[in-house]
């Protein structure tokens, strides 16, 4: 005879964990949406010209993108969001600023000095090529 009613672990996880997760999901989405164009207070001191906020992640695949309109001093990570049917609904955009005297180099997906970085104006030519590598696992050749 049990002094308590046995509860399956799956029942605990379903009722105990699902409800808070569903309540926190909209809050998480709002937090994610607020990372676009969010920089430190003195970010203007690092930029060559005033900030342009025209870059958008809409209709872009997952990847890292140099912001050419901001002289590649800013780059964005685009994360597309799909619904259950696979339709593209929205794209989250995370914006970052490179350190002083550096720009985003699209070929290495990182910030580099002006002398070493890929030319900013040519960065869009690498968007598809470099970002297509995300998620691809190279095949390993076996020694015979």
Question: pLDDT band at 140, cuts 50/70/90?
Answer: confident
pLDDT in tens, 39-49: 777 888 888 88
Q: What is the mean pLDDT of the chain?
A: 80
Residue 32 CA to residue 26 CA, distance in Å, equals 10
Answer yes or no: is pLDDT of 26 > 70. no
Answer yes or no: is pLDDT of 116 > 80. yes
Residue 25 CA to residue 128 CA, distance in Å, equals 31
In angstroms, the Cα distances linking 34 to 15, 92, 95, 120, 144 are 30, 9, 10, 26, 53
**In a 10 Å sphere around its CB, with 0-12 CB exposed, 13-18 middle and 19+ buried, how is residue 62 labelled?**
middle
> What is the reported pLDDT for 28?
53
Answer yes or no: is pLDDT of 77 > 70. yes
> What is the reported pLDDT for 44?
82
Report, as an integer, the average pLDDT of 54-60.
91
Query: Higher model confidence: residue 124 or residue 11?
Result: 124
Asked if residues 51 and 44 have their Cβ atoms less than 8 Å apart, the reply is yes
> What is the reported pLDDT for 36?
64
pTM score, two decimals? 0.69
Domain ranges across the chain: 38-132
Dihedral of alpha carbons 66, 131, 55, 28, sign: negative
In angstroms, the Cα distances linking 83 to 25, 30, 57, 62 are 14, 17, 17, 15
Answer yes or no: is pLDDT of 117 > 60. yes
Report, as an integer, the average pLDDT of 90-100.
90
């Amino acid at each position: 005879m049990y002094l308590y009613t046995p509860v399956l672990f799956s029942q605990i996880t379903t009722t105990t964990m699902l409800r808070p997760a569903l309540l926190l999901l909209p809050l998480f989405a709002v937090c994610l949406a607020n990372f676009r164009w969010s920089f430190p207070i003195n970010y203007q001191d690092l930029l060559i010209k005033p900030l342009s906020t025209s870059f958008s992640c809409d209709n872009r695949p997952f990847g890292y993108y140099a912001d050419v309109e901001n002289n590649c001093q800013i780059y964005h990570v685009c994360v597309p969001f799909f619904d259950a049917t696979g339709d593209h609904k929205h794209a989250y955009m995370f914006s970052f600023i490179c350190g002083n005297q550096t720009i985003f180099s699209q070929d290495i997906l990182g910030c580099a000095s002006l002398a070493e970085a890929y030319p900013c104006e040519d960065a869009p030519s690498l968007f598809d090529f470099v970002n297509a590598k995300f998620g691809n696992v190279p095949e390993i050749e076996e020694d015979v």
